[in-house]
Amino acid sequence: MRALEPIDAYPTHRIAGFPVRAGRSLPFGATRVPGGVNFSVYSNHATSMSLVLYKAGAAEPMAELPFPEAFRIGGVHSMTVFDLDLEEIEYGYRADGPREPHRGHRFDPTQVLADPYARMSTGIGPYRHRSRVALDDFDWEGDRSPRLPHEDLVIYELHVRGFTMHPSSGVSAPGTYAGLVEKIPYLRELGVNCVELMPVFEFDESDNIFTGVASVLVAVGGRLPRRVREPLLDLCAPLAVLTVAAIWLGVSSAGFALLDATPLREAEWASHGLLLAAVTAYLLRFLHAYGRRERLVARLAASVCNPRDADALLAAYLRTGSRDHLDGLFAEWTGWMTEVESTHIAHPTLTFRRPAGDLDWLKAAVIVLDVAALTEALAPSWAPAHTRALLDTGTRCMQRLAAELCIRLPTVPVSLQGREESNFSDTLRVAHDAGLPAERDAQAAWVVFQHRRTGYAPHAYAIEARLHYELD
C-alpha cells in the first residue's frame, strides 16, 4: 500500500503567484520541507511581516509575500512556500511596526532585513545582507569523525583566514577553507589530531566608525580646490583614526565626569593611557600593512604604468622565463590580494590611504589580473597553477572592498576601463609572438577574457573614483 504524503505538503493559499500554506513555528529560519521551504521568524512587536524573494544577485525583488495574520502565532510568523528554485533564490524580511527608539523599537519598512536565523548568507558584493536556504546536500563520500577519546585529543585552535593568508603558508588558496585543508599534513607533523576553529559566522565588516569618518573626509575633500584637496586626502586615513580617538577620549572623559567623587574617578588617567596605547598599536599595524601593500606595487611600477601594459608584461615574462616564472608572479600576487583584502577590511582606513607612487595599488591589481585573465582566455590548459587562484582571489578582493564603500555596480557584459586604446587582436599577436600557445580562437578568448575582467576591473575603477585618485 502506497504511503500517504503528509497533509502539510499541500498548499492552501496563493500569495504573489506562489503556492503557500501556514508554516511550522519551529525551527526558526528557512528549513526544507516536502515540496518547499518553511520560513519562520520571530518579532513580537512587528505589526506586519513580508518575505522578500530575489533571484540570486538581482537588485530588485522578484516577489514579496506578506504573512497573513492567520500564519502568525504569538510573535512567530511562519509560512511554507512551494515550488522555489533553491539554487537561485535569496531572501530577506520586511518588517513594519512602531518606531520608538526610546523603547528600543526602530522598525523601518523601507529596509529588507537578513534572516537572523539564516544558516547561509550571500556574503559578498553589494547585497551581502541577503540570506540563502542551506541545501545540506554535500557528499561526504563516507567520511566521518574519527571519534577519538577526549583524553587523547591534541587540539589546535586557529582562525580560518589568518592561518593561511600570508604567502609564507605556501598554499594555493590562502585565507580559505581549501587553504586550511592543504595544511593538514603540517598539522599532523606537529602531532595535532583535532582542529578547533574560532567562531565562524557572517558579520558586517563595514559597520564601523573608521569608514564613516574617512568617507566624510573624502566627500568633503573632493569638493575643495586642488591645493587644499590633495593634502587633505593624503592625510585622510590618519585623520580618521585620530578623529575616532578624540571621540573616544571625549566620551570616556564625560563618563568619568559622572563618576566624580567616587573611587573610580581615579582610573581616568589609566583609561586614557590604555586608549593611547591602543591607538598607537593601531597606527603601527596600519603603517606596516600600508608599507607591504606599496612595496610590491613599486616593484611592478618599474615596468608598467597602466592596464594596457598588461600585454607587454605578459610577453616579457613569456620571453624571459618559463611557465614556472609566470606562476611565481601569480603566486606572489595571490598572496598580495589576500593580504590586501584581509588588512583593508580589518583596518578600513587603509583603503583611504593614498598611493605612495604614480601607479596606484588598484591599477596595479588590474594589470596583474589582466595578465592572468589573458593567460586563461588564450591558453587555459597551459596556464600556470596559480592562475585561477589569482583571478578568484582578486575578484573577491575588489568586490568586497567596493562593497565596504557601499559601491553597487550593475552587471556589465564588457569592461574596457584602462584598455580603451587596446585592440584585442593586437593583444593576441603580442602573446602568440612571445610564445603563448593559441588554444582558443579570437572570439572565444575575448568572451572568456571579458567574463573574467568584468568581475574585478569595474569595481577597482569605481573605488578609484570614490577615492578621487583621478581628479586633476
Residues 293 and 395 in one domain: yes
Residues 269 and 159 in one domain: no
Distance CA 429, CA 410 (A): 32
The residues, ordered by sequence, that sit 6+ positions from 81 with a Cβ below 8 Å of its Cβ are 18, 19, 20, 36, 37, 39, 51, 65
* Confidence (pLDDT) at 199: 72
Residues 185 and 265 in one domain: no
**Per-residue pLDDT tens digits of the chain, which is 472 residues long:** 455 556 667 899 999 999 999 999 999 999 999 899 999 999 999 999 999 999 987 878 999 999 999 999 999 999 999 999 998 899 999 999 998 888 888 899 988 999 999 988 875 545 557 899 988 878 888 888 889 999 999 999 999 888 988 878 888 888 888 899 999 999 999 999 999 998 777 666 555 566 666 666 666 666 667 676 667 666 777 777 777 778 878 888 887 777 777 777 677 778 878 888 888 887 888 888 889 899 988 988 887 777 778 888 888 888 877 788 888 889 999 999 999 988 888 777 778 777 877 888 999 999 999 999 999 999 999 999 999 999 999 999 999 888 877 787 878 888 888 888 778 888 889 888 888 888 999 999 999 999 999 999 999 999 988 887 754 4
| Coil, helix or strand at residue 438 | coil
| Coil, helix or strand at residue 251 | helix
113 grid coordinates = 532585513
Of 336, 405, 339, the closest CA to residue 367 belongs to 336
Q: What pLDDT, in 10s, does the model give residues 19-29? A: 999 999 999 99
Give Rg (Cα) of the chain: 27
Q: Is residue 143 part of a domain?
A: no
Residues 87 and 191 in one domain: no
Handedness of CA 13, 16, 18, 24 (dihedral sign): negative
Q: Is residue 52 part of a domain?
A: yes
Residues 62 and 157 in one domain: no
| 252: containing domain | 210-406+416-466
Where among 85, 106, 127 does a domain terminate? Answer: 106
* Confidence (pLDDT) at 14: 96
Distance CA 339, CA 431 (A): 30
Q: Is residue 243 part of a domain?
A: yes
How many Cβ atoms are within 10 Å of 57's Cβ, its own excluded?
A: 13
* Residue 410 Cα distances to 60, 370, 393, angstroms: 12, 21, 21
Where among 197, 225, 254 does a domain terminate? Answer: 197
Residues 193 and 223 in one domain: no
Cell 582542529 belongs to which residue?
Answer: 195
Number of domains making up the chain: 3
Q: Cis check for the bond before 199: say yes or no (omega within 30 of 0).
A: no
Residues 332 and 457 in one domain: yes
The residues, ordered by sequence, that sit 6+ positions from 231 with a Cβ below 8 Å of its Cβ are none
Residue 78 maps to which CATH number?
A: 2.60.40.10
On the 0-12 / 13-18 / 19+ scale of CB atoms within 10 A, 293 is: buried
Residues 459 and 328 in one domain: yes
Q: Is residue 1 part of a domain?
A: no
Distance CA 7, CA 33 (A): 12
* Confidence (pLDDT) at 7: 61
Residues 191 and 234 in one domain: no
Where among 74, 106, 138 does a domain terminate? Answer: 106
Q: Distance from first CA to last CA of the chain, Å, rounded?
A: 80
355 grid coordinates = 598611493
Of 234, 200, 192, 196, the closest CA to residue 217 belongs to 234
Cα Dmax for the chain: 86
Q: Is residue 37 part of a domain?
A: yes
Distance CA 229, CA 220 (A): 9
Residues 187 and 215 in one domain: no
Distance CA 389, CA 62 (A): 33
* Confidence (pLDDT) at 267: 77
The residues, ordered by sequence, that sit 6+ positions from 346 with a Cβ below 8 Å of its Cβ are none
Residues 458 and 323 in one domain: yes
How many Cβ atoms are within 10 Å of 110's Cβ, its own excluded?
A: 6
Q: Is residue 434 part of a domain?
A: yes
Distance CA 308, CA 143 (A): 48
* Residue 320 Cα distances to 24, 315, 317, 393, 436, angstroms: 66, 9, 5, 26, 13
Residue 357 per-residue DSSP state: S
Q: What does pTM read for this prediction?
A: 0.58
The residues, ordered by sequence, that sit 6+ positions from 358 with a Cβ below 8 Å of its Cβ are 301, 305
Q: Is residue 427 part of a domain?
A: yes
Beta strand spans in 118-245 (E): 155-158, 194-197
Residues 265 and 296 in one domain: yes
The per-residue b/e assignment along 368-389, b for 16 or more CB within 10 angstroms, e otherwise, is bbbbbbbbbbbbeeebbebbbb
What residue type is assigned to position 157 of the chain?
E
Q: Is residue 304 part of a domain?
A: yes
